[in-house]
Structure 1
């Protein structure tokens, strides 16, 4: 197979095509639970692909959303608060991220919130569950606590969905951490993880290099120019970050025509089209074809889309990244040599031209493909299957602790009030309105005393809330 997305050609190793993962036959007809969280699309995307692979090898897979298992609709509050913080007060998210990073994990509120989910998670697991996999830091904390205290008698694994590893990912009690690359594996070990294994990425097999015919067909289908270099700009399922600014800079620099995927941010797509960005899409159901049509991926978060681009054969550039994990992922991808981090807008055109036509693009495609050819003995699903099969038949995970305890009810009520206050504050714009008075600055300072007040270098344009 030959990559034909640019003027340069690269022969793709046969193993680079996403291949089936061998799973021991002794593991067939067994049950595995996967706990994720519907925050963005990356955690659920990894969970879905793990479930697909494990199911294809004969496992019964149960998938759960941790946010659905939080009591009294707290999950929706958490999801909405996180979203609104990224949109309305990204500087606050950066402070929270850094403060928890230095502290080695979440604060008292986060711990209390996760503690409320433990019994619900435990009671949700099927009694025949032989292993539990987390694709979300909060789920790892909940499952690790259950394992550490002897409530779970089966292995708990964490699949690290990001290239950078926040300390929240590493929870006491988790038996094995699976990483896509040596860089996140090293970060997990530095954060205290004991058993870390590099098992390769988890990506839908539809993301693969396309032929010249497939490339032409995809461009025609999406109404894209046939021979012009295309820069695919992605900003996650929520379309957050300075997307409009980047799209205009891509257009004006002249290196490639911008093709922007705004996810569920319809207002952003409409604003871009009004700006004259012709190829602005909302939610795209066939991202594999759109990636095959493009010549370079420009991203701001470093999540699942980057891995999908590596599998497709697209070089990746990180540019104007969102706070927190966007910045740390950009640094980790650059350390791995898998993506270039463009820090200076003056270098945007030069870097994109090198990625599309030059040796930098060839080098990065080779590194991206190597992520898949270097998978440890079949990839993460195979590793999960081996760990599942290595243990004796699971004991029933059920316990007899009372469902309703007065202290637990008080904890739930207190946590609900705290989350509700924060969600309302961020969601109604109080963070913006009160910033000048110093109220929010004081709250931020309590999270991170070493940071000076930010000057709104991150923003979202074209996004509106009802």
Structure 2
């Protein structure tokens, strides 16, 4: 293959980067060397800072505004404002594409997809553009005329395509890409031994994504009412500020704080249950590990859609109230029927081979 494919991601949460890395590794297995571009940072570090901080502040200060924008955009093309913003950076992106003699482009973030669509339109670039959707439900904000293929976890492709007058042949129901890892077959006891975890008590994992966006301390306080002491793994990602707050929180449970790690899948395999927001990549990884999921503290909009989908398919349960968490966790950990029902739901939905299916489809075109 002539030239170097580019996989465009964005460090807004870690899931999009994980998906990009998974695709890069799969291409390498096929003998294709691709480069992952942290798009906004590559254009300019100030742009990355602006986009990230704007997004985080909106979620923190006015999550309801983000929610209204997301659902309003299902019927009105509010998202096209991103394309206009992206037109300011066409020349920088064009330089990257030209330098690599890029044979095709992949985007793992919808904001980035808008920028790349504007690039293709303005510079008449012939290289195909593929978008990998890291949520379980389709949204019209993903759609652009310049996109040559959509890779999705959704099975409602025909209905969505007809509604928005897009060819259903442009959609591929592959699932969400996750890193290949032999630990998906690792037994629970072996996983705990590798991670030096207590093998004799129930283990609960609390995940907040790459930025550690959940209130670990309040969750720990709520779980004090569990009838037995359990092992709790707090995965804080890159959020080091929350680490000391967790350590300072007294608990009857055996609490471990774990920063960003490439062993997240192994920790999932070692656990009996997961408390998490409904980020698409984290949920795809949890499904692949067949771990019972309790969804808590979702980001408005896209994660609400993910939550609706997973609960309706029997792969997760959810709550928005701290006082309901202990009862839910007790059922997940100690009631075999609940535990097995959620595991079975995950088994039916999981797509651990999504990454290879995406790359096979792209390379076959």
TM-score normalised to structure 1 length: 0.68
Instruction: State the alpha-carbon separation in 2 of the partners of residues 230 and 377 from structure 1.
Output: 29
CA distance in 1, matches of 2:136, 2:51: 23
Q: Secondary structure, in 3 states, of the residue corresponding to 2:234?
A: strand
Superposed, 1:101-116 pairs within 5 Å as 101-106=74-79, 108=81, 110-116=82-88
Aligned counterparts of 1:361 and 1:193: Cα–Cα separation in 2: 40
Matched, 1:44 2:17: yes
Q: For 1:38-187, list aligned pairs within 5 A.
A: 38-70=11-43, 73-106=46-79, 108=81, 110-126=82-98, 128-148=101-121, 151-182=124-155
Partner of 2:332: 355
Q: How far apart are 1:184 and its partner, in Å?
A: 7.5
Q: Which has the larger radius of gyration?
A: 1
Match of 2:243 among 262, 269, 275: 269
> 1:299 deviation in Å?
0.7
- By relative contact order (CA 8 Å, sep 6+), the higher-ranking structure is 1
- Larger mean CA deviation between 313-322 and 282-291 belongs to 282-291
In 2, Cα distance between equivalents of 1:265 and 1:156: 33
Q: Which residue of structure 2 lines up, in the alignment, with residue 15 of structure 1?
A: none
Q: Tell me how large the CA RMSD over aligned residues is.
A: 3.0
Aligned with 2:310 (options 314, 330, 333): 333
Q: Residue 208 of structure 1 contacts residue 313 of structure 1 at CA under 8 Å; is this kept in 2?
A: no
TM-superposed CA distance for 1:62, in Å, is 2.3
* 1:50 aligned counterpart, secondary structure: helix
**Secondary structure at the counterpart of residue 158 of structure 1:** strand
Question: Does the C-alpha gap of structure 1 residues 94 and 242 become closer, same or farther in structure 2, counting only changes over 3 Å?
Answer: farther
The reply on whether 1:205 has 2:180 as its aligned counterpart is yes
- Quickly say closer, same or farther: Cα 1:253–1:323, change in 2 above 3 A: farther
- Which has the larger displacement, 338-347 or 47-56? 338-347
Counterpart CA distance in 2 for 1:62 and 1:270 is 36
Change (3 A) 1:149 1:114: closer
Instruction: Report the CA distance shift for 1:72/1:313 in structure 2 as closer, same or farther (over 3 A).
Output: closer
Contact 1:199 1:379 in 2 (8 A): yes
Q: Distance in 1 between matches of 2:232 and 2:160?
A: 34
- Distance (whole Å) between structure 2 residues aligned to residue 61 and residue 251 of structure 1: 48
Unpaired segments of 5 or more residues in structure 1?
1-27, 388-466
TM-score by length of 2: 0.85
Q: How does 1:377-392 map to 2 (within 5 A)?
A: 378-387=356-365
CA contact (8 A) 1:66 1:139 kept: yes
Does the 8 Å CA contact 2:5/2:104 hold for their aligned counterparts? yes
Flag structure 2 segments of 5+ consecutive residues without an equivalent. Answer: none
Partners of 1:287 and 1:238 lie apart in 2 by: 14
Deviation at 1:252, TM superposition (A): 2.5
On the 8 A contact 1:97/1:324 being kept in 2, the answer is yes
Q: Does 1:216 align with 2:192?
A: yes
Q: Secondary structure at the match of 2:200?
A: coil
Q: Does 117-126 or 358-367 show the bigger shift? A: 358-367
Q: In structure 2, how many angstroms separate the alpha carbons of the residues matched to 1:373 and 1:304?
A: 11
